[in-house]
Structure 1
Amino acid sequence: MSTDTAGTADPAERPAGDADRRREQRGWYFYDFACSVYSTSVLTVFLGPYLTSIAEAAADADGFVHPLGIPVRAGSLFAYAVSVSIVVAVIVMPVVGAAADRTGRKKPLLAAAAYTGATATACMFFLDGDRYLLGALLLIVANASISVSMALYNAYLPQISTPEERDAVSSRGWAFGYTSGALVLVLNLVLYTGHDSFGLSESEAVRICIASAGVWWGAFALVPLRRLRDRRVVRGDGGAAGEGAVGSGWRQLLATLRDMRRHPLTLSFLLAYLVYNDGIQTVISQASLYGSAELGLDQTTLITAVLLVQVLAVAGALGMGRLARRYGAKHTILASLAVWTLILAAAYVLPSDAPVFFYVLAAAIGLVMGGSQALSRSLFSHLVPRGKEAEYFSAYEMSDRGLSWLGPLVFGLGYQLTGSYRDAILSLVLFFVVGSALLARVPVRAAVAAAGNPVPERV
């Protein structure tokens, strides 16, 4: 870890050379490989339609369920649960990030978050009948856990890669994630379409597909947990960095927020990212629900469409990484946001019961999804003051997942008020338009220099 006024890394804890750095990078990639299956199989494909069907089975004659006595349209439950999970993550992530930077022990915290989420996902096997409350609770726990774990995981990026490597390393991580997502979706497709031949009901097949994502997540998380190293940190005053780390978590959070005011250009990027990524995350989490409920597509079509997204996202992430080396990450991200806007406009007019058009839309999403997220992560890594990676990446993750509660909330309210998912999807265009405008105004080279980091040739 580099030094700053906040702390100094023990020289003995620094990588010995390129071989050690490459080994950590290869281990780092595997956390994307482990947890991306949750995002694809669970959040994007199966859980939205399945949890909605459970809620509909428990609904009253008017189509409402009543968690904690609150009337909620059954079709909005999934979106609302996603929003609640993000609020939980907002509360937890900054404290965990501050503790990680103060102690230098990100790995135990990463393990705790990963296995909490993996366990909650595996327990979704027990969702059947009208257990919509159990489903909502497990979704909240799993989704909050993956947000916390990703904040810690992303904080390793500036420690395991040089400034010139980061676009490529970040893009490879996303490519690993999409590769695992595609592989598991193939297995899901075989099990789901052939559930009768396996002696399973449709519901049992879906629950196995969902729960197996938790098992996969927990199993492959062992690879990064073995290869990534904690960096011991010593405070500038000579005290042990871990002193009072837990008890002072909230005080450290306030200190982090005050410190971020010293880096207004970094904050400007975070604001832009908060807005446009809110749209991206909402599209990802609500796509299957839109396809099944509004477009009338069957589960097999949805699985194969998401599989197409995963396959093309590998090429998209690597391809956009190459474009960033030529044109800079900022301009490449702006181009991808223009494509996202066109995708949503096309989704609004997409005809029902037309799987071919849905596949075309899925292909377009795949080509821009991985690259826009990977390049945003690597661009932000240049804007982080040295020695404060976990704290600042907690703020980034709050923008990536933790503050992305508005999109699902708007989507859910749109359906609750109008009964039309088309009206709900149209509202998301605003996130990409406003986010693009905010990002265009950020002078990224000046922002990198202001954070005290070397400015790459293209950024």
Structure 2
Amino acid sequence: MGHPAAEAPVDAAVEPAPARRQIAAWAAWDWGSAAFNAVVTTFVFTTWLTSNAFAEPGEDLVAVTARHSQWLGWGLAAAGILVALTAPALGTLADAGGRRRPMLAVTSGIVGLCILALWFVQPVEGGMADAVRLGVILLGVGTIAFEIGSVAYNALLLQISGPRTIGRVSGIGWGAGYVGGIVLLVILFVGFIDPEVGWFGVTSEGGLDIRVSMLLAGVWFLVFAVPVLVMVPDRRRPGAPARVSVAGAYVAVGRHIAELWRGRRSTLRFLIASAVFRDGLTGVFTFGGVLAAGSFGFSASDVIMFGIAANVVAGASTIGAGWLDDRYGPRRLVTSALVVLVIAGTAVFLLHDAGTRAFWVGGLVLSACVGPAQSASRGLLARLAEPGRETELFGLYATTGRAATFLAPAAFSIAIGIGGEQYWGILGIVAVLALGLVLFVPVRYPRGLGVDGRRDVTPDGA
């Protein structure tokens, strides 16, 4: 069973040029998503939630931090399981009726409200544990909505791009996300978190600086979610039923997986390989700050500065790599990025005694490769998607990714256990990236999809 695009490649002469306004509107959602990715789940809120700010008087601070971190981990794990179980079926439902934008609107609204509701997470004596539980619940619900919304958002990529422009458009989106993270982090750091008395008289008393930051982050996310809902088209698959039952959606997903196994096994193999290396890519940022502080002598302010610099480098490289994606193909770009990541990660491990300078250099090299690999992976899947079934395939993309989310944390912990020191965890992340590379390289794709660059999209349709 061949891929339709392989049988009738798109003619470069008739492929419409992407509308810049639609691309900007689509990328605005990625820009706004920094409020959840960079501020809530990475650098600000979760760091505060698992700190000793939520310790009752007289409690063991180390034990409190461990307990609250464990609650956070279990909450996010439960959210991941729910995403894995529901994303493909919801994608099928959205595809059937051409309802990607409504799905994105609902989930974006839920994410924004969850971020705003973090204002109510307040360290109050006698109620610290309840406050942490509330924070974990809101993070879990927000994560579910964000991941399902991302399925619909990624599928809309094909509504505003073609085989020759997917890489650049996807890169613009990923880059916008990194740049948005930089801008919002700087605003919050300068305005509320760093000064003793911030804008409007905000202080750190009762976590007010963090809670006000969540209000701004929630508004930020909601505002930048609007353009894609207004300006990007949402087309229904020709001949698709207007309504599909939930049970029918799961049946359709099972049928789709069987079809991939029988006739498009390369797509299925890519889903598996990408799940592994995407978890390694996530691990680079997830554990980067921990390693910087614990193994390379970074202060808290140094970590934030490195985070901003890493986002600058990642954003610039991702936008620039979009041209390389379209020119040479996402397969080559992903392979090259993973090779550099493995080499750079190994170098950081070997130079662990060199201090902050080694981590700055090696860490920024790693940051420069993470975004391009993520963006090219998304673009490659978009090229493989059957017309009208994009959201369903991106739902499987989310599911396989969630199924592998234990790999990087587990490898990180196992490597530390073997070496006895924190910096050994670097090898665990490198091992996951290397495994993803080994699984990805042998995958072969149908010609005519642009996977190997512009020359792979034959203009004559032969």
Q: What TM-score range do you get, normalising by the shorter chain?
A: 0.7 to 0.9
Contact map agreement 1:301 1:355 (CA 8 A) in 2: no
Correspondence for 2:146: 146
Tell me whether 1:51 sits opposite 2:52 in the alignment. Answer: no
Q: Judge which range, 25-34 or 288-297, deviates more.
A: 288-297
Aligned counterparts of 1:419 and 1:76: Cα–Cα separation in 2: 21
The answer to whether residue 81 in structure 2 is matched with residue 87 in structure 1 is yes
Match of 1:185 in 2: 185
- Which position in structure 1 is the counterpart of 2:97? 103
Give the Cα–Cα distance (whole angstroms) in 2 for the partners of residues 342 and 412 of structure 1: 21
Q: CA separation in 1, counterparts of 2:221 and 2:417? A: 33
User: How does 1:190-201 map onto structure 2 within 5 Å?
Assistant: 190-191=190-191, 192-197=193-198, 198-201=201-204
Q: What RMSD over aligned residues (CA atoms) do the two structures have, in Å?
A: 3.4
- TM-fit CA distance, 1:159: 2.5
SS at match of 1:297: coil
Cα 1:57–1:343 change in 2 (3 A) is: farther
The CA distance in 2 between the partners of 1:365 and 1:341, in whole Å, is 9
Change (3 A) 1:362 1:147: same
- 1:360 & 1:299 partners in 2: Cα distance? 18
Compute the displacement of 1:80 (Å).
4.2
CA shift, 1:162, in A, is 1.2
3-state SS of paired residue (1:221): helix
Alpha-carbon shift at residue 112 of structure 1 (Å):
1.1
Gaps of 5+ in 2: 5-13
Matches within 5 A, 1:239-250: 241-250=241-250
Q: State the distance in 1 between where 2:73 and 2:152 align.
A: 25
| Distance in 2 separating the partners of 1:57 and 1:341 | 39
Aligned to 2:340: 339
Q: How far apart in 2 are the matches of 1:216 and 1:412?
A: 35
* 1:449 Cα deviation after fit: 9.5
Deviation at 1:21? 4.1
Say whether the 8 Å CA contact 2:159–2:233 is kept in structure 1: no
The answer (yes or no) to whether the contact 1:102–1:233 under 8 Å persists in 2 is yes
Aligned equivalents of 1:111, 1:314: Cα separation in 2: 25
Q: Distance in 2 between matches of 1:445 and 1:292?
A: 46
Structure 2 letter corresponding to 1:26: A
Deviation at 1:244, TM superposition (A): 3.3
Deviation for aligned residue 1:199: 4.1
State the AA in 1 paired with 2:277.
Y
Cα distance in 2 for partners of 1:317, 1:89 equals 26
* 3-state secondary structure, aligned to 2:164: helix
The alpha-carbon deviation at position 32 of structure 1 amounts to: 0.8
Aligned to 1:406: 407
Higher mean C-alpha deviation, range 399-408 or range 417-426: 417-426
Deviations 1:32-85 (A, max 9, x none): 11113321222221234212215872696595469xxxxx65554444443332
User: Which of 111, 115, 119 pairs up with 1:117?
Assistant: 111
Q: What residue number does 2:23 align with?
A: 25
In 2, Cα distance between equivalents of 1:299 and 1:305? 10
Q: Is the 8 A contact 1:44 1:287 kept in 2?
A: no
Query: What residue in structure 1 maps to residue 229 of structure 2?
Result: 225
Distance 1:257 1:442 in 2: 17
- Give the AA of the match of 2:222: G
| Distance 1:213-1:357 versus aligned 2 partners, 3 A rule | farther
Seen in structure 2, the aligned counterparts of structure 1 residues 218 and 352 have a Cα distance that, compared at 3 Å, is: farther
* Structure 2 match to 1:41: 39
CA distance in 1, matches of 2:442, 2:36: 34
Q: Which moved more, 1:47-56 or 1:373-382?
A: 47-56
Distance 1:182 1:21, change over 3 A: same
Q: Deviations over 1:213-269 (max 9, x none)?
A: 222111110111111222134536xxxx23234453322322232232231010111
**% same residue:** 25
C-alpha distance 256-247 of structure 1, shift in aligned 2 (>3 A): same
For the 8 Å contact 1:49–1:292, the answer to whether it is kept is no
TM-score (norm 1): 0.83
Structure 1 partner of 2:122: 128
Query: What is the distance in 1 between the residues matched to 2:329 and 2:87?
Result: 30
Summarize the alignment of residues 265-344 of structure 1 with structure 2, pairs less than 5 Å apart. 265-293=266-294, 295=296, 297-344=298-345
Equivalent in the alignment of 1:9: none
Q: 1:285 to 1:334 in 2, by over 3 A?
A: same
Q: Which residue of 1 aligns with 2:156?
A: 156
Between the aligned partners of 2:213 and 2:421, the Cα distance in structure 1 is: 29
1:429 alignment partner in structure 2: 430
Q: How far apart, CA to CA, are the structure 2 residues paired with 1:125 and 1:344? A: 38
* 1:392 aligned partner: 393
Deviates more, 1:205-214 or 1:186-195: 205-214
Letter paired with 1:428: I
| CA distance in 1 between partners of 2:271 and 2:188 (Å) | 36
Decide whether the 8 Å contact of 2:448 with 2:456 is kept in 1: no
Distance apart, 1:175 and its partner CA: 1.7
Q: Is the 8 A contact 2:168 2:321 kept in 1?
A: no
Q: Does the CA-based 8 Å contact 1:189-1:300 persist in structure 2? A: no
User: How many Å apart are 1:349 and its aligned residue?
Assistant: 5.5
Deviation at 1:132, TM superposition (A): 2.2
Partners of 2:322 and 2:426 in 1: CA distance? 29
